[in-house]
Chains A and B, each alone.
Chain A
Amino acid sequence: GQNIDQPTEMTATEGAIVQINCTYQTSGFNGLFWYQQHAGEAPTFLSYNVLDGLEEKGRFSSFLSRSKGYSYLLLKELQMKDSASYLCAVIDSNYQLIWGAGTKLIIKP
């Protein structure tokens, strides 16, 4: 079967760095998305990775290792507004999008 694993919940401190992991077992791989979803709001696009390595976008970076079936989202200089759920989604060999359950990130002052 297809499976995407993310931690259910993480807590971090304002100003710190946090890494949210995503591991996947899917039938094929054609790319990986990260989305952010604030409570009660729409998910919004953060990043897309298809090649191995780290992509940086301001305070947020996303890393991919295809051989390990692994990605992480790195958030630096955490702000209270980063409190949200972070959703990982993989495009499989049939070009279908498989979604993880999301990681709820709680930022404490």
Chain B
Amino acid sequence: DVKVTQSSRYLVKRTGEKVFLECVQDMDHENMFWYRQDPGLGLRLIYFSYDVKMKEKGDIPEGYSVSREKKERFSLILESASTNQTSMYLCASSPTLDPYNEQFFGPGTRLTVL
């Protein structure tokens, strides 16, 4: 069973704080993704990574950065959190770059920025 875990289910931070969201997958997948999910909108891709130390911008990378130092771990960093980054953050992984692969999601981190 593929397992994708995220470090926190709920997080409350203050404006201007640096925030780290961690994601770990245990199935040796090459691809990892960070999305945000907001009411009334589809999942929006922030960044993805297809290999260690490799990263690509998604649709809404502004205000975010990522780090992938190990294959199983993909971190999302909010350098200076703002209230408009209050959202549900979902991490996902897939076996290869093939877009036809299903993605395996973590349970999400609900981030509130005050």
Binding site for B on A (CB under 8 A): 4, 8, 30-31, 33, 40-45, 48, 50, 87, 89, 91, 95-102
Contact = CB atoms under 8 A, between A and B. Distances in A.
A102 B100 contact: no
Contacts of A40: 107-108
Given A99-B43, A101-B42, A102-B42, A42 B105 contact: yes
12 contacts: A33-B102, A40-B108, A41-B108, A42-B107, A45-B103, A87-B43, A89-B42, A96-B99, A97-B45, A99-B43, A99-B44, A101-B40
A98 B42 contact: yes
Contact of B41 (A50, A95, A101): A101
Interface in B41-83: 41-45
Interface in B13-50: 40-45
Interface residues of B, number: 17
**Pairs of residues from A and B, 4 with the lowest C-beta to C-beta distance, nearest first:** A99-B42, A42-B105, A45-B102, A99-B43
A42 B33 CA distance: 13
A53 to B, nearest CB: 17
Which of A8, A41, A99 lies at the interface centre, i.e. has the most chain B CB atoms within 10 A of its CB? A99
Which of B4, B103, B106 lies at the interface centre, i.e. has the most chain A CB atoms within 10 A of its CB? B103
Which of A30, A43, A87 lies at the interface centre, i.e. has the most chain B CB atoms within 10 A of its CB? A43
A42 B42 contact: no
A24 to B, nearest CB: 11
A44 B104 CA distance: 7
B90 interface: yes
Contacts of B106: 42
B42 A4 contact: yes
